[in-house]
Amino acid sequence: MDLSALLADIVAQAASREDRGTVASYIPELAKIDPNQFGIAIATADGRLIAGGDADTGFSIQSISKVFALTLALGKVGDQLWQRVGREPSGNAFNSIVQLEQEQGIPRNPFINAGAIVVADVNLGGHQPRVAIGEILRFVRYLTGDDSIAINEAVAASETATGFRNMALANYMRAFGNVRHPADLVLGSYFHQCAIEMSCRQLALAGRYLMLDGRHPDGGRVVSPSRAKRINALMLTCGHYDASGDFAFRVGIPGKSGVGGGILAIVPGRASIAVWSPGLNENGNSQLGTLALEELARRTGWSVFSAPGPEG
């Protein structure tokens, strides 16, 4: 399969589309991003990296960081985490507070904001936010082999200044005892985690351990095979907020989106894919990124719901 030619086709299709979605405006720094950008990169299980479009342009990974934060939290507390966070799709907006009242402060899953805030509380572990922030940054650099990855401080400050709903979620869960550190410390860690800046090329490299049953491609083990499988399962069922079912139906592979316009998608045993275009659809997922992954899955036959072909 000529992935380079396929990616060139997908980049050309993206360039020709007039409906590019709308950039996230509730975070002022993200509202400034030029929507006329599109990048895609694929890291394959046999060690290739194929990229197209704006694949080397850095962007704020936002909620994609929840995948790496969850991996760290499971390493710290294991399955005890599931006493504080559920594993079910929410069916509500990613920043909804409604379910928290009904479910006694236990977020529905770790990929909605409330769940990610509990995960950040676990990763804080009694330290100052700079320690937890440093840990997740080192982890992402280890996964990619790239020490240049950094946090966009302007984006972090923008989120801190405007993140009132996340503040409400954190304080509400603290009232139930499910956030155990002061809310401002947890959110300091969470906002900086979301402001990690990466390119499609870097993000595709960072996802390789989920493609390889938890192994780092350079040797060693990041997580166990069963934990990698479960993280992928959560990405499939919960990774696109209340559009997760539609993404599974249309694309058929695990994926995690972010309001910065990025999507990390995993084809177990085959590929780690990163796509980015800043314009979002009505569910807060990248408009062109979703369409690109749908086309990629159609053309390659990659899906967790079908038997692999000789090349797919």
Return the active site residues.
Answer: 63, 66, 190, 241, 259
Joined together, the tokens standing for residue 11 give: 């980049």
